[in-house]
Structure 1
Amino acid sequence: MRIFHDGREAKSRKSSAVARRVARGMRRRRDRYVRRRAALLQALVDYGLMPADEGGRKALEALDPYDLRVAGLDGPLPLHHFGRVIFHLDQRRGFKSNRKSEKGDGEAGLIKQAATRLKAAMAEEKARTLGEFLHHRRLKGETVRVRLKGAGAKASPTRDDLAGGLDGDGRAKASYDFYPTRDLIEVEFDTLWAAQAAHHPELTAAVQAALARIIFYQRPLRSPPPGKCALLPARDKDDLEGYRAPRAHPLAQHFRVWQEVRNLRIEMAGTPQRRLMPEEGELVGKALLAANSLSFDKMRALLKLPAEARFNLESEKRDRLKGDETAERLAAKKIFGKDWRHFPPAKQWAIVDRLLNEEDEPTLIDWLVTEAGASRSVAAAAAGTALPDGYGRLGLRALKILVPLMAGGLSYDEACVEGLGKSHSVKDRGDLLPRLPYYGQWLQDDVVGTGDPWDTPEKRFGRLPNPTVHIGLGQVRRIVNALIDRYGPPAQVVVEMTRDFKLSPRQLAEVEKEQAANQRRNDARREKLAELGVAVNARNLLKLRLWEELSPRDSIERDCPFTPEKIGLRRLFSENGEVEIEHLIPFSISFDDSAANKTVALRRANRDKGNRTPWQAFHNDPRYDWPGIAARAAQLPKNKRWRFAPDALERFGDEEGFLARQLNETGWLARMAKDYLSAVTPANQVWVIPGRLTALLRAKWGLNGLLPNNYGDSKSRLDHRHHAIDALVAALTSRRLLLLMASTYDEERDRIVVPLPLPDLHDSLSAWRDRMTVSHKADHGAQAGQRTGNATSGRLHEETAYGLVRDPAAEDGMNLVYRKTFEALTEAELPRIRDRRLRDLVAAHWAEAKPSGQKLADALGDFARMVKDPHIANGIRRVRILKKEKAEFLVAIAPDGGGPAYKAYAAGDNAFIDIIETADGKWIGEATSVFSANTPSNQPAWRQWPDASFVMRVFKGDLLRLNWKGRDCIMIVRRLDAAANRFKLALHCEAGSLDKRHDAEDDPFEWLMASYSTLKAMGAQKVRVDELGTVWRLDPADALKRL
């Protein structure tokens, strides 16, 4: 039985890749900026617009670029001064958005509103360029930097005249005063160039184009590649028709329409269900392609059927079939109108392709005008239209074959056989393999790789985006290959999967009734939105539904769940976004984007809640009334109430299953594993068993009491060995039993008697339980000298960069300095404000405000607004704070060319601890940080000790065999506590929240806190437990050779 890390952070439960991806993106963005700045500087020197010597360039820094940007409009500037202007434009080159990202809620967001205000203000002041407008602001003592201000922002508290107005508390709403965009910088660049070119003939058009490309070039967004076609997959990366087609493609829309038409059946009392006749199918299909939708009532009239006739796809919830959604949008009056459906297919395809892939709106509009023959207004309307997103399962090559056949009368499966000569559901991958390869090599239709044989398997074949599934399939490969090596290829494989059993007729009727009621409620909501003048879209419908759930009463106003403030319909849909949709259990933790995990609340409360559950955020926050929150939560639907509980995160695991997130990843892992395992076992001998059936059989066979730590009659999740019992139950489940149980309704299933498959099952399992050792996947990473490329074994150090104090003695021994938002300071940080004058002023203000009961943040805000000091004329946003830290716990950063360090990071986690035996027989430990472990020149200090004897290198997650409480035990290292010279260990089989279990009085679990000397006394040895549970002792001499 194998336990492995799920690829998520232990505390936050976020994917481990998320934080790395964000940090990597920030580094890459910074690196691109530095490269662009260096390229521009070199070009300016080459064109004579900057001095070649660094001293001359330094002298230019003293010039005010805003003065120069205005002076350059009306008169000649020295070439080097003009170069200073160009360099400044590059540093503040303005915001440029992607047109596809502007179609959501962000289109009318804060940036766009501020950009619109900026252009209006420029027109009002008759400023010819952005630089002239900013110069005017400087003359009036106003800031020229973009700042988000108001509620929810790290805002300057000295400004009250914010453009966003005031919220319900009288606080300024979050907004920007202005927001420069890239087009304004481009216009200013061209304007200044034209003005200066009249005085300097060397400023040619070629030089202008070269500099403009350096400054304004923006990398196109890289969309994730679609998967391969399920029927005719791509042969290589250039075979575009072998990749899945966008749902918006006209062929994909036609395929969906004809597939539904061919799936239609007519039902009439007293007669068998029948397919549509060829002429009937043609009538319905053409009607759907020519309209937005077709109701079943109109379909009956079209086919001249009696009123009592019904269609198999018809229900109370579904009263119509969708037509061509792409045509519906592009055939709108303001776009192509009726002409769209008469365009040749090739023209439609080309237009849709441009709308989906062109990021720059002006470029798209120009193409639509010149190539598609559209007017400017039609092109602009088309460019702003959102088409159906996502991809289907088939590529264009398959669709070009299947759609004509299906339009001619064949069903999907018939068209596959007729046109492709293959079934739509059976994948032929050839002969079975002797061992499992890397999963991407077998599941090539589900991943996208480079195809380059020189790349690593992950890059060559591709990898699945879900980290848990990626890691899980890798462990499946290791376990199955180990079993094959020992026992030969498997004859049959059973995969456990969480899956619901089918509903009984009564349950099905209840579901359909509820769905019909939901449909009626949605129709009423659409009418309500139309009355309010609010866009009728999925997001607003959800917002209205969540608002209705805030109270069972049909009231005009409902309470915000986190505050007692009222939320009326006007406030709910206010343009400033004062009310937002919020995930109760954070999405980054739960990956639960269902309505059951959402509510609507005031934006400022959502900001205070942050990435926490309601209990974590508000139960101990004096600004919020937790009893009131709990009372309001009680009014919510049942599936939301428990998410306000203190143990919401723990219950999430029980309520939602083992990481039932991101496409129900447990189920996805099981499905992928089933397909993957067909590489070594015939596909008809690899099958899936529902998790609920496993639990039922485990109870019927009396296996729930086999493990300790059981509370009640259910299996213990506090012992990893329960997974092995589940695996055994799955292996003992026959297809006949699976069919019997799965085809039986819930109310009958408990009455079925299932005899034990083996007469001595309980005795055998009891003996096996005591012999079993859980295998834990090691996670040692790649240390220096073992890595390929730039990979590391984890985060090298903490994220915060500290400045180094030159004279710590002059700062009371403080050797580090960092910046922090003024209002976010803690009381302990007030005496460490570096500016002594400011420190004394703040201390005096707090000494006066604290006795009155005022909160520190409010007191600091009042101070920043009221203080009258010439040194604080422009307000306080951030202050510099001093800190003291031991040098050995720091990672100092020096310039690449050498010289003294200029900043430092906290070293962060330890990678491992080396246990050394000294000449007098004592065990001591030497910890190595992750940063040091990844430094090629790093050598542990103990290597310099002539009498030292290496015992073992211990990583977090390693296994040790030792004598504890008089018995031989295998224990796992859960924590490296180098500061206390000890390890924190637990038995290999212990699961759950171990800290909570240690503190619980009714739980027998306890930590083993073992010092190095205690480990020696216990006879500790490092061991490895392989995938099949075999325990191997690791020889220290062999381990030393590999260091």
Structure 2
Amino acid sequence: MALVLGLDIGARSVGWALLEKQGDEWKRIVRAGVRVFEAGTEGDIESGRDKSRGATRRIKRLARRQIRRRRQRARALYRALAEAGLLPGISPQPGSPMSLLIQQQINALDAQFRARYAAETGVHQLPYLLRARALDHPLEPFELGRVIYHLGQRRGFRSNRKAESRKAGAGDESKANEDRGKVYEGIDSLRTAMQQAGARTLGEYFSRLNPAEKRIRGRYTHRSMYEQEFDAIWTAQKAHHPALTREFKDRISDILFRQRPLQDKEEFVGECSWLPGEKRAPVWSLEFQRYRIWATLNHLRITGNRSAPRPLSPEERALLFTSLDAAEKLTIAQAKKALGLRRTAGFTLEEGGENHLPGNKVGAKFHAILGNRWTSLPPEKQNELVTVVARASTDEELEEALQRDWGLDGEMSRRIVREIVLPSGYALLSLRAIREVMPFLQQGYSVQEARQKAGIPLERQVPVHPLLPPLADSGVAVFNPAVKRTLTELRKVVNAIIRHYGKPDEIHIETARELRKSREERAEDSKRMRGREREREAVRDQIHKEIGIPLDQISREDVLKGLLYRECEGMCPYCGQSLGGFASLFGGNSPVQIEHIIPFSRSLDNSFVNLTLAHVSDNAEKGNRTPWEAYGHDPGKWEQILQRVGAFKGSYAKAKLNRFKMDEQAVADLLQQFSSRHLNDTRAAAVAAARYLALLYGGETVDGKRKILKPTGQVTAYLREVWGLNGLIPSIHREAAGAEESDDGRTIRKSRDDHRHHAMVDELAGLLNVVDQARDDAAGALFGIEMQGELVQVVEQVLAKVGDDAAAEFGRTEAPAIGRHGMNDREEHPQSDQQLEPVPALGWIHGQALALRRNNAIQGRADEPRKAEVHHELQHAHGHRNQQQPLVVQGIRQESSEWPVVSAHAAGRIIAQNGAKVCRGSAVGQTSKLQLAIRSVTLVPPAGPEGDLAKPVAAAGQEELPLHPRQEQGLEVKEMR
């Protein structure tokens, strides 16, 4: 027997399901659960408004540190000046902080000096008055001490280039550059004002200002201004004060102006994803910037009016590379203009909403300042110059190096210092890996092809561990706090499973969207979804007002039809005839159908970009063909179809036109891209999780067999829809699940507190190799899945194997529930006495009943579907009773043999065996023939003596509970009385 572990990894939970199979035959689902925990970030993760839980603490800690260091500096400065006789000495007093005593003494001195200079016009700005007098007049010792102490209170801005680079990398780079520009603009403006006023120093300039007319505070000043003034005052006063020695000046200057260098974090840089032992390349390196450009260009495809998408020619790649290497990005319009393409042409990346090509963000900054001088430098010298800028600690150090070592004049060096802030962060690859694949990328090979050509192994081999080690000791570098928290909790789940059941033979993982995407991407997605939701609400209102359908009865399909109707402006793209009025879209006899541009049975793509509307007759004529396959042989009609599609409205119009244009080869390329892209998630979170789990086996692939599979969430989303699992949590449990519905039936909020769907995803992830294993079948259209009949035939097989008497298997069963964290912490920490609140752990096929309802029942022409209640008491994994009222489900009764009930393990085995056909056979049109509903999914019953499922015990004589008033069919879970 082989064990397959399916994992659904989210920011707040880790869902899991353990499946058992023998050869290619699925035997049973051993166990499933969900571990729930607090996310590693706080705020709204979905909308990209989250931040690290340590961010608030860090901000306050930095403020405390800044205040502490300022006080330490003030005490050190006062002590040094007092030792030299330039300020009065202070005796410590019990209960009084030294900082308070110093401030009291300074206030007393200010009062004394203010009385002394009462006749002076600038007495209202006493410290500045003394700083101005110090340039030309000898000061008394305490006056000079007060001047120097005041310089320590206001010491100006000094750039820490590495800190600014990290800020630019962590946030909006353009905003960081903008803020930096404002600072230097303010400093330049102040210097100009000083020159116009004839002021020699900053203190002299401020001494001439009336604070009632011009505010002194809130101005941008530079540290060099204070250093210059300090030198001028020291030079003017040292003849009058013997204490002003060279050694004493160095000591005071160090206290006043010393700034701690930023600690170097390079020791925390992770390893290269391809070459163990190699450090990752910094994002600011020119080699990485150019690697990214070539990788993008080699993946790019051009679409035309009638032609299928094609790759760029060598000449086109070279031309675009030259443009991108000198710019931070190119818009789609600029790229098409550079290639001389027609306005009707486009790029395939536009389907994903991209509107630009990434360029050389680093080289473009230098090119903008140095011009031809930059382009004339050989690549080695360009890299060296960028490294100098990246490694410089201060602006002064950098400006001096640029003028001394690179021969740049003052203007150019100042512009580089002020305008260039390089991005921080590190790529997934090392410079060595990039250098080895770069020659092949320049020849047009894809990244994976270039990797193979360079002889870099496609899989990393690592030592085998019996259990997952702590993340900090694993060698897997993870700095995202959400991913780090999730992987830490993942270790607890996986290690507990290994201790109980042994090491799985395969692990299939899926990462949630909030882990797969960056904060900026999630914010953009949230904005786009809000806009899409407004469009859907507008369509719902139109349906309600014009058709009269109550809002709570408008289906998702109705809304989808309305959106597609608006897009095509009521015209069938195939025949060019009107689809009829808006009302013609709805009702059982509607002449309009939703049509898949690339057939669903071949693409598994049910997204909006692959849908349109068509007359029933046109949809039947097109059949299981693409538009090009159905009409491409008729040039006249084909041209008219493309013209109609080209007139579509909305943001998906161009992407749909590209779908219509695809010939046989283009469709094959698209499906192959789908196969490689969606069965192998390459996002950083998925890669990190896979590398971490690979420690159990010595690599993701061992002896040619995949141990870690990481399909994207899009695949399991398809399977949920195809297998009818989106209704897994019944509507009668909406309150329990945390969903809400408004009075007018508009909104049902998706609950993020109900984690039962994670276990369902795990079951799907575990079964994905049903799809993956079939990819080599050349007779198939997608993943090699052969057309073996309709979904209805699969159901008939299920009915034939199980029979009408399967309900007899279901009596009362009691199964240990998995705690709130999936497995009781006792299993991971045996000494723990923590009691965890149990939550039902649900799997997609783990049901006490699988209702297979025929078409006549769905349409209400047959007897009412059976009502069933299954008795089930929740308890902890170690038999600890839940403190709350236990949930119970009573024994199933079957009212008609027309409604067979399939046992959980039998149905799971059959559906898994026929998974490929189920995946292939369903389509929008099939939903009228069959609905597959799973109700009240719960845990698998406990294992018997032979390790197989225990035989349930009949529930004879049990009192039956009344059904919930809102329940119309399926199962109901009620509290025990």
- Normalising by structure 2, we get a TM-score of 0.48
- Normalising by structure 1, we get a TM-score of 0.45
Q: Whose Rg is larger?
A: 2
